[in-house]
Amino acid sequence: MAIEKTYAEINEKIRSGKAVVLTAEEVISLVEEKGVSEAARQVDVVTTGTFSPMCSSGVFLNFGHSKPRIRMTKAWLNGIPAYTGIAAVDVYLGATELPEDDPCNSNYPGEFRYGGGHVIQDLLEGKSIKLEALSYGTDCYPRRELETYITLDEINEATLFNPRNAYQNYNCAVNLSGKTIYTYMGMLKPNLGNAHYCSAGQLSPLLNDPYFLTIGIGTRIFLGGGIGYVAWHGTQHFPGIQTDAEKNSYGPAGGTLAVIGDLKQMKPEWLVGTSYLGYGATLTVGIGIPIPILNEDVMSCVSITDRDLYAPVVDYSEAYSQRIPGNLGYVSYAELKTGKITINGKEIPTAPLSSYPKAREIAGELKNWILRGDFLLSEPARLLPSYQDQITAKTLDIKGV
């Protein structure tokens, strides 16, 4: 008889301490040994994790009102500009924002030592952050300038809202040109000198729910060391199945998540300010998502291994930047993790940008929360668009010139 479980049944097991929870890594050997049906019968929840740079991240802050009041027109936190086009003392600080006097790439390759992501990490570490603001002054908000120091505890709200996180899969980046290039995929040596990839593979949240059978709006998740929620599908959410010219399938890719949570209960070790030489600043984000084993289909999805998952190999010297379609082939995460792959007949070293040990730690931490009964699963208000919705990416045409 087919196995069918509801969220309520699984949560009842969690409450009573009887739920069986495994990480996405641990469940692989169980399925290999017992098969999908038996594993689906035995296991209630599988936890996933990822810890990677996620540029589309940031935080809404409300500072509270000064005396006299100010309606902030411009604001800076430790010299990093924050977006003020919202209510008087609310701002949005983006992870990739840089100081206005940053030399950027004028001294190529630029170092980008401090940006919005670093401010977020400093806030979490309890550091005092310099807040500067300017205004044109109004009858109700007469103050025209402000300079003070804030800490995370002293302000009203700090809401992490990341419009695009947890990419389902990602490119494996290489460089076909004759010179070193500096990208958001790290430093790529000339003439296929190395290859960088960025996914937790078999531990990655959206690779374990490739068809969005369980993850949706309202899914409760591990976010930055605290509890967060899936708010929506992320920007550039293009869930699809990768195929080559011969129509061979290389599995799912392209889904993304928008996530939200209270920064005040997060931890600095899971939201880390990050810099890429010659590229810019960002934030490395830790995300873990529980997958309820509702039926055998879900169990089949979470039992995938690095051998079954593939990244497209993309040239970042020209194809990526010039938006030239196609790739140099697909490589499995199992191959990538050995430390070398063969591309165009050349064996080249590989390195990740996504921390597999931290992904494992997140999946383990989330498992512990569930086993302790501290974390119940939430049934999504609506599932996210999947490959069946056939969403395609739009491009930006250059008009009027």
Partner 1 sequence: MAAKKIILHFGKDISDKPIIYHLAKDYELVFNIIKANVNPNKEGTVVLELTGEQYAKGLEFLESEGVRVQPLAEQLSRNELKCTSCGACTDICPTGALYLDRPSMEVRFDSDSCVLCQICVKVCPVKAMEVKF
Instruction: Tell me the residue type at 400.
Output: G
d(CA 220, CA 123): 24
Using an 8 Å Cβ cutoff, are 276 and 184 in contact?
Answer: yes
Instruction: List the interface residues with partner 1, window 328-347 (CB under 8 A).
Output: 337-339
Q: How far is the CB of 148 from partner 1 (least distance, A)?
A: 28
Residue among 167, 170, 250, 276 that touches partner 1 (CB under 8 A): 276
- Residue 196 is a binding residue for partner 1 (CB under 8 A): yes
x/- mask, partner 1, residues 306-325, rule CB under 8 A, reads: --------------------
The CA-CA-CA angle for residues 24, 29, 33, to 5°, reads 140
Size of interface with partner 1, in residues (CB under 8 A): 32
Residues with Cβ within 8 Å of residue 390, at least 6 apart in sequence: none
Q: How far is the CB of 225 from partner 1 (least distance, A)?
A: 13
Using an 8 Å Cβ cutoff, are 150 and 128 in contact?
Answer: yes
With contacts defined by CB under 8 A, name the span among 48-56, 243-251, 381-389, 390-398 that binds partner 1.
48-56
Residues with Cβ within 8 Å of residue 46, at least 6 apart in sequence: 21, 22, 23, 24, 27, 208, 290, 291, 293, 299, 302
- Residue 293 is a binding residue for partner 1 (CB under 8 A): no
Specify the pairing of strand 280-288 against strand 220-223.
Answer: antiparallel
Q: How far is the CB of 272 from partner 1 (least distance, A)?
A: 6
- Residue 277 is a binding residue for partner 1 (CB under 8 A): yes
Q: How far is the CB of 343 from partner 1 (least distance, A)?
A: 14
- For partner 1, give the closer residue by CB, 195 or 294: 195
- For partner 1, give the closer residue by CB, 110 or 239: 110
Half-sphere exposure of 323 (CA within 13 A, CB side): 5
Q: How far is the CB of 347 from partner 1 (least distance, A)?
A: 12
Task: Answer positive or negative: Cα dihedral of 171, 326, 232, 303.
Answer: negative
- For partner 1, give the closer residue by CB, 63 or 114: 114
With contacts defined by CB under 8 A, name the span among 30-38, 49-57, 160-168, 367-375 that binds partner 1.
49-57
Using an 8 Å Cβ cutoff, are 297 and 377 in contact?
Answer: no
- Lookup result for tokens 């589309």: 56
Q: How far is the CB of 28 from partner 1 (least distance, A)?
A: 13
Task: Answer positive or negative: Cα dihedral of 301, 261, 254, 318.
Answer: negative
Q: How far is the CB of 68 from partner 1 (least distance, A)?
A: 40
Specify the 3-state DSSP secondary structure of 362.
Answer: helix
d(CA 115, CA 101): 12
- Residue 47 is a binding residue for partner 1 (CB under 8 A): no
- Residue 186 is a binding residue for partner 1 (CB under 8 A): yes
With contacts defined by CB under 8 A, name the span among 185-193, 237-245, 246-254, 308-316 that binds partner 1.
185-193
- For partner 1, give the closer residue by CB, 141 or 276: 276
- Residue 199 is a binding residue for partner 1 (CB under 8 A): no
- Residue 357 is a binding residue for partner 1 (CB under 8 A): yes
Instruction: List the interface residues with partner 1, window 65-124 (CB under 8 A).
Output: 109, 111, 113
Phi and psi at 163, nearest 5°, equal -65, -25
Q: Radius of gyration of the chain from Cα atoms?
A: 22
- Lookup result for tokens 């984000």: 285
Q: How far is the CB of 127 from partner 1 (least distance, A)?
A: 15
| Residue 290 φ/ψ region, left for φ over 0, alpha for ψ in the -120 to 50 degree band, beta for the rest | beta
- For partner 1, give the closer residue by CB, 362 or 366: 362
The CA–CA distances, whole Å, from 291 to 28, 30, 68, 318, 382 equal 14, 16, 50, 38, 15
By annotation, the residues acting in catalysis are 140
- For partner 1, give the closer residue by CB, 293 or 353: 353
- For partner 1, give the closer residue by CB, 40 or 174: 174
d(CA 145, CA 315): 48
- Can you list the alpha helix ranges (DSSP code H) found in 97-193? 116-124
Q: Which residues bind partner 1 (CB under 8 A)?
A: 51-53, 109, 111, 113, 186-187, 189, 194-196, 272-277, 284, 337-339, 349-358
